[in-house]
């Protein structure tokens, strides 16, 4: 999955370069391929197109980065109030009974497979099925019993993943394990409506506050010439398409990385080229981000524990 973080900027670079050159061959309006003059916006149709593609990037940004912020919010509230948010309270009685009915079969699948989690996973699946068969809604489970139920869920899910990943297991067993695993994920893979709204507000406010520095870097410092309207439209169109595909396909990508790759592609496509110093600073920031966050989070964990 992390491969998409590495591939997406390169893909944005190539696709934007190709699209920009196609646009330059098809359109003959010189003002579209010149840096905009101060206080003079592009022609009307290009301005409308830029607004449309920018809106597309914003929507795509929400579909992809929104998953990350929702996940962080859910981790926080589950850690603070596990009895309330560790399980999906919106599940219907029919869904609960259906999952409960699948647990005996899940226990058999896990017991037949080789793996370190076989015994614990099989026992957890049986216990989970017995408890779910006795309730109508998640709210029926006493708060003090929910941590144990969540633990059974985690062990069952982990054991089912082992069956799916076990190449030596029968194909039918692996398919059944995946189907039960995906169905069981409904109990823990969810987000209340207010978490989704909070995520959108956080993304929107963060973009409003921090956009200027990013826009200045990408629009004026990335290439050797300021960004042209046709370059902006090409890069945004490619970025919107790639990020939307990644968001609905479940691939983690960075909006800034994809847009940066797209703009760099249009700069190369126009012949202007990119500023190596700026690209070097961006690349170093990308490379250092992951190990830096790992080190900081690891240090905080040991400090707090």
Using one digit for the tens of pLDDT, what is the confidence trace for 2-19? Answer: 677 788 889 999 999 999
**DSSP category for residue 274:** B
How far apart are alpha carbons 174 and 3 in whole angstroms? 25
Nearest Cα to Cα of residue 260 among 228, 288, 241, 282: 282
Q: Render pLDDT for 275-289 as a digit per residue (tens, 0 to 9).
A: 888 888 888 888 888
Q: Where do the DSSP E strands lie in the chain? A: none
Q: Render pLDDT for 157-176 as a digit per residue (tens, 0 to 9).
A: 888 888 888 887 778 888 88
CA-based end-to-end distance of the chain: 30
Average of per-residue pLDDT values in the chain: 85
**pLDDT above 70 (res 259):** yes
**DSSP category for residue 139:** G
Among 30-34, 87-91, 115-119, 134-138, the range scoring the smallest mean pLDDT is 115-119
Using CA atoms in the order 70, 286, 247, 59, what is the torsion angle rounded to 10 degrees?
80
Nearest Cα to Cα of residue 273 among 53, 38, 17: 17
Here the tokens at position 142 are: 């006493």
Using CA atoms in the order 172, 178, 183, 189, what is the torsion angle rounded to 10 degrees?
180
């Amino acid at each position: 999955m992390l491969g998409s973080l590495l591939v997406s900027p390169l893909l944005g670079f190539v696709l934007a370069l190709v699209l920009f050159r196609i646009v330059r061959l098809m359109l003959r309006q010189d003002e579209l391929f010149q840096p905009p003059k101060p206080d003079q916006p592009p022609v009307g149709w290009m301005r409308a197109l830029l607004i449309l593609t920018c809106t597309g990037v914003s929507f795509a940004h929400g579909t992809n980065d929104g998953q990350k912020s929702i996940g962080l919010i859910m981790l926080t509230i589950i850690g603070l109030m596990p009895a309330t948010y560790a399980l999906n309270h919106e599940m219907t009685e029919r869904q609960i009974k259906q999952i409960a009915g699948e647990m005996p079969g899940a226990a058999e699948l896990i017991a037949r497979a080789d793996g370190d989690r076989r015994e614990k996973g099989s026992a957890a699946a049986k216990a989970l099925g017995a408890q779910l068969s006795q309730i109508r809604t998640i709210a029926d489970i006493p708060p003090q019993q929910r941590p144990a139920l969540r633990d059974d869920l985690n062990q069952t899910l982990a054991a089912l993943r082992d069956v799916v990943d076990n190449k030596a297991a029968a194909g039918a067993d692996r398919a059944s394990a995946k189907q039960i695993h995906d169905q069981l994920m409904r109990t823990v893979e969810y987000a209340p409506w207010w978490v989704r709204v909070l995520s959108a507000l956080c993304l929107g406010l963060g973009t409003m506050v921090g956009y200027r520095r990013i826009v200045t870097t990408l629009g004026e410092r990335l290439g050797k010439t300021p960004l042209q309207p046709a370059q902006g439209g090409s890069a945004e169109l490619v970025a919107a398409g790639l990020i939307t595909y990644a968001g609905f396909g479940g691939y983690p990508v960075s909006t800034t990385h994809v847009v940066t790759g797209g703009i760099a592609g249009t700069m190369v496509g126009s012949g202007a080229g990119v500023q190596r110093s700026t690209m070097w600073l961006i690349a170093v920031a990308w490379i250092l981000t992951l190990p830096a966050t790992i080190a900081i989070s690891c240090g905080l964990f040991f400090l707090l524990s």
